[in-house]
Amino acid sequence: MASHWEEFYSTHLPPSDFEDNRKLLKEFCERHNKTNQRIVLITSGGTTVPLEHNTVRFVDNFSAGTRGAASAEYFLEHGYTVIFLHRLKSLEPFTRHFTGQMFLDMLELNERGPSTTITVKPDCVDIVAPILSRYKNAQEDGRILYVTFTTVSDYFWLLRAACECLAAFQSNALLYLAAAVSDFYIPSSELPTHKIQSQNGAPTISLQLVPKLLAPLVNLWVPHAYVVSFKLETDENILISKARDSMNKYKHKLVIGNILQSRRYRVIFVTPQSNYEVLLTRDQIINGMEIEDSIVANVVDSHSEFISTIQY
């Protein structure tokens, strides 16, 4: 009998641009594997669950994409190559620093004379320059690949495709699964084609459990990689036990637990051996430090230790 995850792939079509993305992932991984360097797949942002094939309504999962986008910048600083698999229109590395009208407010339009020029306001140069410099470095070295998803089904197809390419990196591959992935969905075969009509009364929507992909991911797709998952809860009383349950069930390397309201300054690392907190102090928060800086530094250390002890 086919497992739950195999059945999902056999009953849900890949996204329309899947082959293009698969090719990009393959080329990117082949190019970087030649130099035998470390690579991280970061998943970021929330997945959607459509309520109609021609989707007007959908159920969404909470995530701004800050964790993933900030972490991508820190992994680049640690010398990693990055695949940034993220929700379309969620935060991205580098541009995340200039949300809303911020960037336009930093520019000056000079329309005097025959040609128009645009300059960065002198008091904003110190803000823009370091970010621009890190962005240009990553782009020029071709060290980051951006791939987008919207629905949970898109995400599943792209996650498996990325893993197929990452397997060749063996223990040099790190998976950092920060995306907020739907636990419930409506199977494609049960979706109406067209927009649900309100004149038919309030719809009864029945959701089913999505297959847990951590199982095939850890055991079959990237068995030699260092896999880190995130666990999001809203009840402090169950956070550690849920994170530990996940680690015991899937037998991966690290679960990082966080509570919705405190996720910007406190996370719990749950490893096979122990639990420990990573915190930002009030001063660090005031000074603009980001918790992802510490999270990534800790994860990179654990990945290094894993690589140095692994035996094939």
Q: Name the residues that contact ligand 9Z3, by CB under 6 A.
A: 63-67, 177-178, 180-181, 229-232, 258, 263
- Which C-beta is closer to ligand 9Z3: that of 159 or that of 180? 180
Report in angstroms the alpha-carbon separations of 63 from 88, 217, 284: 12, 22, 23
H or E segment and range at residue 301: helix 291-309
Bridge partners for 133 per DSSP: none
Tokens 């890190």 belong to: 134
Contacts of 209 (CB under 8 A, 6+ apart): 183, 184
Please state the closest distance from residue 197 (CB atom) to ligand 9Z3, in A.
32
Strands 184-185 and 254-259: unpaired
Q: What is the torsion angle, in degrees rounded to the nearest 10, for the CA atoms of residue 20, residue 23, residue 29 and residue 30?
A: -150
- Which C-beta is closer to ligand 9Z3: that of 12 or that of 86? 86
Please state the closest distance from residue 4 (CB atom) to ligand 9Z3, in A.
16
Please state the closest distance from residue 289 (CB atom) to ligand 9Z3, in A.
15
Contacts of 60 (CB under 8 A, 6+ apart): 46, 48, 49
Please state the closest distance from residue 239 (CB atom) to ligand 9Z3, in A.
10
- Residue 23's CB is within 10 A of a number of other CB atoms, namely 11
Please state the closest distance from residue 183 (CB atom) to ligand 9Z3, in A.
6
Contact 37, 76 (CB under 8 A): no
Tell me the two tokens of residue 53. Answer: 């094939």
- Which C-beta is closer to ligand 9Z3: that of 76 or that of 152? 152
- Which C-beta is closer to ligand 9Z3: that of 178 or that of 300? 178
Please state the closest distance from residue 55 (CB atom) to ligand 9Z3, in A.
21
The sign of the CA dihedral 164, 160, 80, 144 is: positive
- Which C-beta is closer to ligand 9Z3: that of 178 or that of 280? 178
- Which C-beta is closer to ligand 9Z3: that of 32 or that of 67? 67
- How far from chain centre, in Å, is Cα 6? 23
Please state the closest distance from residue 86 (CB atom) to ligand 9Z3, in A.
10
The backbone torsions φ and ψ at residue 303, rounded to the nearest 5 degrees and listed phi first, read -65, -40
Rg (CA), the chain: 21
Please state the closest distance from residue 95 (CB atom) to ligand 9Z3, in A.
15
- Which C-beta is closer to ligand 9Z3: that of 178 or that of 270? 178
Report in angstroms the alpha-carbon separations of 41 from 44, 79, 107, 228, 298: 10, 14, 34, 10, 17
Helix (H, G, I), strand (E, B) or coil at 206: coil
- Which C-beta is closer to ligand 9Z3: that of 24 or that of 184? 184
